[in-house]
Structure 1
Amino acid sequence: MLSLVVLISGTGSNLRALLEATREPGYPARVIAVGADRDASGLEHAAEFGIPTFTVPFREYASREQWGSALLAAIGEYAPDLVVLSGLMRLVPDNVVSALSPNLINTHPAYLPEFPGAHGVRDALASGASQTGASIIVVDNGVDTGSIIVQERVPILADDTEESLHERIKPVERRLLVDTVRRIADGLDLSAR
């Protein structure tokens, strides 16, 4: 059984999808803890499912590296097989990537390498593109530059707003995440990426 720590910053909709998948008979992974970099509303999903939570507030540390060390210590208490950045809206520092890679994955609401960064949905709309997507990647030290595990296209409609486009990307992102975790549990080698 693959053990996961999931890190979030917001509402945790991808986290919720993973937690619901773990209730399915035969799903080969379980979330053992959920962490956040702030007081995130998504931590309530973990509480509902009886999953321990932790918060490592970024603002309490003098540097990203110090925050990263504290985050690693909190994650280390659970010794997960895989860490999932699922809406964590903060770049993890090099020490976190070095310690966890390649067993550190991220979800992104764009078809990478198109539209990296925190505003991928807005940037896709602003570019006039006809499509964007969702991607799951192995985290590296860049901004959404890691090896792509899986991705899928989502069309951009003429009347899309940032909110409506994001709402259509989210179900794709959730499905890709749940499937990717299953594939990793079933033996997908992330180090080969």
Structure 2
Amino acid sequence: MSESTGNDRCRVVVLISGSGTNLQAIIDSAADAECPYQVCAVISNKPEAYGLTRASDGGIETAVVNHRDYLDREGFDTALIEAIDRYAPDLVVLAGFMRILTPGFVRHYSGRLLNIHPSLLPKYQGLHTHRRALEAGDREHGATVHFVTEELDGGPPIVQAIVPVEDGDTADTLAQRVQMQEHLIYPLAVQWFAEGRLRMSTDRAELDGHPLPPSGHRIDSRRT
């Protein structure tokens, strides 16, 4: 995608299932007149998701595609694609979207589908990442923004935020500090994409035409 300026801002659709704190960070970033992207719609698979209220408060169109209305994942994903494509997005962002996507959905948006995961991938794919990091005795934890591929939480990392594990941490306290960093790195990755600086090349993310390391660009919260 070419660099977006003026009214030619990168069109972003955000998918959510819950409260939408990462969504809010992306909305807040887009409110800057110099931001190269706009959130053109927020879609949820749960009609009660508070993130829909966040979007409406920001003047952003919303839609619900309730997964309970479909017999299988394929039917749901087909309806979801139709809902997303009405907004002609350049980028689709998963922000706490708690559905496993079919390979057909992922291929449809290949190279323009982002997710954030609360661990330093490839560590702790799946759920309960903070508890697992504590049980393993890790001294650092964090979050990863990555391109989405057909492998669950296995797409090329773009940017990671490193968070120290402190003595006395619980899964909740660690989650809170990780989430603070998520709110910084997710809008950053979206901005890179919107500026035409970020792309997916086979099994690696590229920034400014250069392959990123396997862990992506790393930001140590202890130094920021």
The two structures share one fold, judged by TM-score above 0.5? yes
1:70 is the counterpart of 2:89: no
Determine if contact 1:112/1:135 at 8 Å carries over to the other structure.
Answer: yes
**Is 2:163 aligned against 1:190?**
no
Q: Which runs of 5+ in 1 are unaligned?
A: none
Q: SS at 2:200's partner residue?
A: helix
CA contact (8 A) 2:144 2:158 kept: yes
1:137 and 2:150 correspond: no
Name the structure with the higher helix share: 1
Q: Which among 138, 161, 167 is matched to residue 152 of structure 1?
A: 161
Residue equivalent to 1:28: 36
Q: Distance in 2 between matches of 1:42 and 1:121?
A: 23
Give me the TM-score of the superposition, normalised by structure 2.
0.83
Rounded to whole Å, the distance in 1 between the matches of 2:52 and 2:39 is: 13
Q: Which residue of 1 aligns with 2:104?
A: 95
Corresponding residue number in structure 1 for 2:17:
9
Contact 2:55 2:62 in 1 (8 A): yes
Match for residue 66 of structure 2 among 57, 68, 85: 57
The residue number in structure 2 matching 1:172 is 181
Q: Which entry has the higher C-alpha Rg, 1 or 2?
A: 2
Name the SS of the counterpart of 2:116 in structure 1.
Answer: strand
Identity of aligned residues (%): 38
Contact 1:136–1:176 under 8 Å retained in 2: yes
Q: Distance in 2 between matches of 1:124 and 1:55?
A: 34
The residue aligned with 1:126 is 135
Picking from 150, 171, 174, the partner of 1:162 is 171
**Alignment-mate amino acid for residue 106 of structure 2:** V
Task: Tell me the TM-score normalised to structure 1 length.
Answer: 0.96
2:97 aligns to what SS in structure 1? Answer: coil
Give deviations 1:105-148, integer Å, cap 9, x for gaps. Answer: 00111100011113222222222211111100000111100000
For residues 198 and 175 of structure 2, what CA distance do their matches in structure 1 show? 30
Q: Is 2:57 the counterpart of 1:48?
A: yes
Q: Can you give the 5+ residue segments of structure 2 that lack an aligned partner in the other structure?
A: 1-8, 206-224
Contact 2:134 2:171 in 1 (8 A): yes
Matched residue count: 193
Q: Stretches of 4+ moved more than 4 A in 1?
A: none
1:38 aligns with 2:46: yes
Query: Aligned equivalents of 1:119 and 1:38: distance in 2?
Result: 21
